[in-house]
Chains A and B, each alone.
Chain A
Amino acid sequence: MTELEARLRATYRAVAEQTLVAAEHPPLHVVRPVPLPERVSRYRVVIGLSVAACLLAALVVTLVTRHPDAPSSGPSHRTVAVPIFVPEGFAFKEAGSGASIGLWGFNGSFEGSLVEYVKGGTAGLVVASAADTGPRPAAGQHTVTLLSGARASVTSDTSDTWIAWSQPDGPIVSVRGWGLTEADLIDIANNLWYVTPAMFERLTAHGGFMSPADSNRLRDGWRAAGTQHSAIGVRGSLQTGLSIALDSNWGLDSVTGDCRATNWSDGTPGLVLLGPGTTSEFALTMSDGSVVRVPADPHPGLPTLAITTVRATGGTLECLDGGS
């Protein structure tokens, strides 16, 4: 053992001897259920049954009238950012929420959520988000514009790079990576799925795993107003990877900002139009020279992707942003 190693061991021993251990909590007590009184008044039973019947009726009405694929919440309630694209070789490590955390690029600490992926011991990424809408990111080394239109500050040190921004009408977000390029991190930032805390809880409930049936199900499915075709949503799990999917037979590897069209998934004549999140309107020029303009109607949880559907079979597509 070298002198340095011996010195290090002595130091660790000294530190360990000074370590204070949290006071041991009193033993946990098991709460035993208290049996109900054997005689329950008939009056109470009637009231109980009536309340149960009302709740059941309300549930049935909700299930019947609710749009089957309607996302559960608008953007302002989607306070947790979840990566739906991670570079090759990355594996889910952990996710959680509720702790007070520091978001890289922001001053202060926030009640937030984290999702972490790693690639062996060589690379990793953490996506952190918090519901606070007030804070703006500190000035970084430079700024980039994400496909949602959000301006993000970018900072690097010797090993890590982090991107921080305030999502319009959404949470504050910070993506930090090590062993990754800035371009990788921007791709990740452009491929975040914004979910409500309840949706996040379902995603993380079993360590990020889901049953094959649940994993294959289209989650947070959304359809453009006025059409019954082509629901877009997210499929997969944190452990197996998430992807943007259109019904059952089509999907996006990642959001790249391309302006493109694909057929309706049920085979009837119609197109799904896709563009960067800044798109306010799609212009489809038909073979006879006529132009059909359709407003973009984005999925509230995927702000970097503008989407709509149109009853047409072909043409030349242009994505027009708000300034065009």
Chain B
Amino acid sequence: MIIVERRTNELDDLYRNHAVALTRLAHVITGSNAVAQELVHEAFIRYTRARDVREPAAYLRTILVNLARSEERRSSRPLPRPAQARFEEPSIDETWQAVQRLPEKYRTALALRYYADMSEAQMAEHLGCRPGTVKSLVSRGLDLLRKELAP
């Protein structure tokens, strides 16, 4: 019983400390705030089922990135984005719309690099690929984004 209580309190703390950052990360990857909330919820559920997690925050982030990537693939259509964010600054609005048009793998790579500020090694770990592949994903993602934004 004591173990259960400790686990529950730990989960409360973890949620309080990391839910915001995780939801933001999932939002910039998936482009949907609603989907991001669901994925964060699912990541926490998976965390509660996991055993011997040494770094809970890192574990949650890895699970979340995997869920975000899977979510896009398992849907037969683009993810629902009923409340597409609009921004007052036209260049930001235009950039965000262009990012949404990129294929999933490039969107994820750009979000991890330029939002989460991950190193290539960290990205490789999260994406399950070699650092060289990460470099090429980011580079190709920027190229595609540049083309999307070209007049």
Contact = CB atoms under 8 A, between A and B. Distances in A.
Secondary structure type dominating chain A contacts: mixed
A7 B73 contact: no
A202 to B, nearest CB: 16
B19 interface: yes
A102 to B, nearest CB: 4
B109 to A, nearest CB: 10
B48 to A, nearest CB: 10
A22 B23 contact: yes
Which secondary structure dominates chain B's binding surface?
helix
Given A105-B76, A106-B76, A176-B73, A5 B33 contact: no
Contacts of A32: 1
A238 to B, nearest CB: 15
Contacts of A174: 76
A93 interface: yes
Contacts of A128: 74
Interface residues of B, number: 50
B114 A20 contact: no
Interface string B86-128: 0101011001100100010100001100110000000000011
A115 to B, nearest CB: 11
B120 to A, nearest CB: 13
A103 B24 CA distance: 27
B79 to A, nearest CB: 10
Nearest to A158: B103
A121 B95 contact: no
A294 to B, nearest CB: 42
A15 B37 contact: no
Contacts of B91: 7
Interface in A8-32: 8-16, 18-22, 24-25, 27-28, 30, 32
A106 B1 CA distance: 47
A126 B73 contact: yes
B93 to A, nearest CB: 9
Nearest to A8: B114
Nearest to A11: B95
Contact of B19 (A11, A21, A118, A159): A21
Contacts of B146: 4
Interface of A: 2, 4-5, 7-16, 18-22, 24-25, 27-28, 30, 32, 93-94, 101-106, 114, 116, 118, 120-122, 124, 126, 128, 159-160, 174, 176, 178
8 contacts: A10-B92, A15-B27, A18-B85, A21-B23, A28-B8, A104-B76, A114-B74, A126-B73
Interface of B: 1, 4-5, 8, 11-12, 15-16, 19-20, 23-24, 27-28, 33, 36-37, 40-41, 66, 70, 73-77, 85, 87, 89, 91-92, 95-96, 99, 103, 105, 110-111, 114-115, 127-130, 133, 137, 142, 145-146, 149
